[in-house]
Structure 1
Amino acid sequence: MAEQIFGSKLFNKIKAVDSYIVDALHPADADLDSTLKANARSSLNAIDVSPVHGKLLYLLAKITNAKRILEFGTLGGYSAIWFAKALPKGGKLITCELEPKHAQVAQSNIDNAGLTDKVEIRLGPALETIERMGREGVEDFDMVFIDADKENNAAYFKFALEHSHSGTVIVVDNVVRRGSLVDEEQQSSQVVGVRNMFEWLKTEKRVECTAVQTLGSKGWDGMVLARVL
């Protein structure tokens, strides 16, 4: 799809820039590399965040001194491992995953990375998971990453707000979707879900936020970045 939008020559250069950044600024990490290989062997869709965006999430967690992180959408655990590596001793990541196979692969990757004590995978529909968490009286989170079914973005964001504090950072991935966000002919449930979140955020006074378009090895997309007031 990205090749169709940008042309193969330009997209190859875009991917080459991402590779250059990784080679220049990302020290080799066997845990992350082996996670991507294990995900491929398990035939998981290659929809993990890119290495560049993984490092961005890691840095955001570090910059905010996050000790408690909530993630929606585990897949094979690639972004979860980035977050876990950013957490201090005693820190905790709770990550929500619908598919048992994904959770099994992710748990294996997390265990192999030696991060079992920092990561808790909660299996099942995320709306049910957060309902249970609300009843349990879960502690507030310092950072939240929303990268699951886009139809429920607004619901996940609202839960994040209700279980956050001033300074909590909330990131929502895949919000531009190759420009589908503003294409009126695009009416899929995922695109509509993203638009509904934007419409709600227009009047939400508890956060200050923006959205940035991203271009890289994963193509053309974007993310919402928000800070709780």
Structure 2
Amino acid sequence: MRTPDYPSQDSDKWAQVDAWFSERLAPEEAGLQSALANNAGQGLPAHDVSALQGKMLAIFIQMSRAVRVLEIGTLGGYSTIWMAKALPPHGSITTIEFNAHHAEVASQNIEKAGLAERVTLHRGAALDILPTLDAPFDLIFIDADKVNNPLYLEWAIRLSKPGTVIIGDNTVRGGHIIDADSNDPNVTGLRKFVDMISEDERLEATAVQTVGEKGWDGFVIAIIKNH
């Protein structure tokens, strides 16, 4: 059982409920289990999405009929594998990871899962790589450093088309998102990210708070409007 990022007195119960649903609705195939084990063995932080959240991303891909997916922030490739497995045979996912060691572990995991032909892994700073990518993408998952989320949002919109789904992870942060006086650069970056979405007439969006094995956090989910 992982240590939650934002624990509470109910954390154990939340984790038990996550486990109960995961066993029934989001069982991890060998490639996913192997990825988590390899991540832990090579010292990566346990910041991966949960199994239920990975399955949610997979379902979003299927619901939106996404073919081209962009992921900003690969870590060890656990979420990448969930999304890549949900794509149609001609689908592809482009993922970006700044940390060289994390990228190497992710490459190992993606290869072992048999998904290397479907995944393009870029190593380096997202803000250097994003301008080189070909638009449009059908779904964009933003899960990197939160300080740069406003800039990632700007690029996500540039790389989108009407109907593109944009998902931002870790946007509640144990409730700290509502602290206007926070000195945490992650919180200030996320607050600007949310304000930008709320003020952009091209976007329709909502937020979902989550509790579970990761503690108390959540997602912002937006879609590029059809004009």
Q: CA deviation at 1:132?
A: 2.5
Q: Are the equivalent residues in 2 in contact too, given 1:70–1:145 (CA < 8 A)? A: yes
Q: Which residue of 2 aligns with 1:164?
A: 160
Pairwise CA distance, 1:28 = 4.2
Residue 206 of structure 1 deviates from its aligned partner by 0.6
The SS at the match of 2:95 is strand
Q: Structure 1 residue 104: deviation in Å? A: 0.4
CA distance in 2, matches of 1:202, 1:79: 26
Q: Please tell me the residue identity of whatever aligns with 2:156.
A: A
- Of 189, 192, 208, the residue aligned with 2:188 is 192
Match status 1:210 vs 2:212: no
Unaligned runs of 5+ in 1: none
- The answer to whether structure 1 residue 146 and structure 2 residue 142 are counterparts is yes
Give the root-mean-square deviation of aligned CA atoms.
Answer: 1.5
Moved over 4 A (4+): 1-5
The share of aligned pairs that are identical, in percent, is: 42
Per-residue displacement from partner, 1:180-211 (whole Å, max 9, x unpaired)? 11124422111100011112122101110011
CA-CA distance at 1:161 after TM superposition: 1.0
**Matched position secondary structure for 1:6:** coil
Other-structure match for 1:46: 46
Distance across 2 between alignment mates of 1:154 and 1:43? 29
Tell whether the 8 Å contact from 1:76 to 1:106 is kept in structure 2 after alignment: yes
Partners of 1:18 and 1:5 in 2: CA distance = 14
Aligned position for 2:105? 105
CA deviation map 1:155-179 (0-9, x unaligned): 1111111111111111000111001
SS in 2 for 1:114: coil
How many angstroms does 1:139 deviate by?
A: 2.8
Q: Secondary structure at the match of 1:121?
A: strand
Amino acid at match of 2:118: K
User: Quick one: higher RCO (CA 8 Å, sep 6+), 1 or 2?
Assistant: 2
CA gap of 1:203–1:178, structure 2 versus 1, over 3 A, is same
Q: By how many angstroms is 1:124 displaced?
A: 0.6
Contact 2:205 2:220 in 1 (8 A): yes
Shift in Å, 1:5: 5.3
TM-score, structure 2 normalization: 0.94
Q: TM-score, normalised by structure 1?
A: 0.93
Secondary structure of the 1:205 match is: coil
